[in-house]
Homo-oligomer: A and B are copies of this chain.
Amino acid sequence: MKSQEELLALVEQAIVANAWKREPAGLYEPIEYVLSLGGKRIRPCLTLMACNLFTEDLSDALKAALALEVFHNFTLLHDDIMDKAETRRGYATVHKRWNENTAILSGDAMLIEAYRLLDKLETPRFREVLGVFNTTADEVCKGQQYDMEFEKRMDVTLDEYMEMIRLKTAVLLAGSLKIGAIIGGASDVQAKALYDFGINMGLAFQLQDDYLDAFGDPKFFGKAIGGDILCGKKCFLMLSAYELAKGVEREKLENLMALDSKTCANEKISGVIELYRSIEIDKRCQERVNHYTAKASECLKKLGLPEEKLEPLSLFAGSLSKRRK
């Protein structure tokens, strides 16, 4: 079994080796750019780790891993247009560095490239892999649609939010694992267990993201604290606060959220965070992260594999839910 570092190195090599220096440069340079910005490479690593549970032959899994990373970066390219994001991983987004048309078309080319990479697979279970990929890709689009719709709705429930992050974030982690498992030769039960592991890990991952935005340590957290509060994002913390704050606290929350995000930014952020703490939203969020992390661990047990084989995935899930950035 390969170490986490070895798998990550394989992914980075594969990205470089896929030769993006193609014509027309105007179409492919933005693709090379966005893929070179790094990121945690979580999805391709999960594909390789899942496959590696069952076999040492990772050649097919590496192609699928690359397809999943290209797909993930395609969603970033298009989401960044929709969200009008100006930076990504500290660099200008494609639609800012080039323009919107380039970001649309290079994104389209990336989605097609993901399928071209998948089509290099030699596994006899190719159709299973393609089915998982298709379902996952469709669900990720649905998740982004719900996310956009939630911005304009004032009645989003916590359940709706959990379903949205399941679609937008968790299914791609789960699909990456399941695809690796299928390629590696997993049984249907094992492939499902890894998928469920991914869903729970993905939910924990996103909730931790929400948590860090308000309660992260600025020393480690890459972005400014309170971004979600300023833009009124209906994240887990905010939706929980609206569900739990009653009477005076509810009034306080509404007054804080009515503050102007430009002129009263600090007052708004510190006030909301204080309120979160007073009604223990921080604790509630960490409990949920722990809950989904524990559920993820249970899924791993269903694989029927020796404990030491599961350690890398366990550690990986733990590191995502305990991360500080």
Contact = CB atoms under 8 A, between A and B. Distances in A.
Interface of A: 23-24, 26-27, 78, 81-82, 100-101, 104-105, 107-109, 111-113, 115-116, 119, 126-127, 130-131, 134-135, 137-138, 141-142, 144-146, 148-149
A104 B95 CA distance: 13
11 contacts: A23-B142, A24-B146, A26-B145, A26-B149, A81-B100, A81-B104, A104-B104, A105-B144, A108-B141, A115-B130, A116-B138
Contact of A112 (B100, B131, B134): B134
Q: How many copies does the complex hold?
A: 2
A24 B145 contact: yes
Contacts of A105: 78, 82, 141, 144-145, 148
Given A131-B119, A134-B119, A27 B108 contact: no
A141 B109 contact: yes
A104 B116 contact: no
Contacts of A135: 116
Specify the main secondary structure of chain A where it touches its partner: helix
A310 B144 CA distance: 47
B24 A142 contact: yes
A112 B82 CA distance: 18
Contact of A127 (B126, B131, B148): B126
A129 B224 CA distance: 49
Contact of A104 (B82, B115, B130, B146): B82
Across the A-B interface, give the 3 residue pairs with the lowest CB-CB distance, nearest first.
A27-B145, A82-B101, A109-B141
Contacts of A116: 134-135, 138
Nearest to A83: B101
A298 B199 CA distance: 56
Contacts of A111: 108, 111-112
A131 B131 CA distance: 16
Given A27-B142, A115-B130, A116-B134, 9 more contacts: A82-B101, A82-B105, A105-B144, A108-B111, A108-B141, A109-B141, A112-B134, A112-B141, A119-B134
A9 B149 CA distance: 36
Contacts of A115: 115, 130, 134, 137
Nearest to A137: B112
B113 A138 contact: yes
A24 to B, nearest CB: 5
Contact of A27 (B78, B131, B141): B141
